Structure 1
């Protein structure tokens, strides 16, 4: 279900366009339901954010444990296993990390937001 009710409080997680979020807020206010929006997070389409090669390397790095803590594989080992140069592996990871992190921080996205709302 898209929502949970516990101790008289409902938590709703939904992916909706901005104009529908506004209508939801207006409806809750109209019925005198107090609510708070805890988080609005843009939905990112990784297929348009990253190139095919960046996606491939990212998934390989995740699957092989490069982003685990502690790491299960080093950058040199990852590059060797994927038969690519260490410098290419490093630069590609750095560029994809830059894109993902900047997208995350800016929230500047044309996609629908993931919204978390709590109502009492």
Structure 2
């Protein structure tokens, strides 16, 4: 949605996307609504196979499409599937709320982060780099 901005708006706020919220909504729309749509892939899969130069030749459309629907909890939000992705957002929101209302100290962030990831997603970071510091 950022393509074809009028050059007269260069170096102004009008030369960029509206907000990170719009970026997020556009990416999720394309990934979840378009990118996991059966009709889209029925048409595009042969072209995709051609572009991949043999990598997907032995994978049927049905197997490929089923792989798009696979659900597996992940520690990393941007690597998560469409079912668990919103849980990453909810965890962050709940932690932010606790920080702002004073019920959580910054020093306790790693512990709470790890607890929430275990509770909501069933995964636990091995260290803070995989967890709260990502």
Q: Which has the higher contact order (CA 8 A, sep 6+)?
A: 1
Shared fold per TM-score greater than 0.5:
no
Higher share of residues assigned strand: 1
Higher share of residues assigned helix: 2
TM-score by length of 2: 0.27
TM-score by length of 1: 0.29
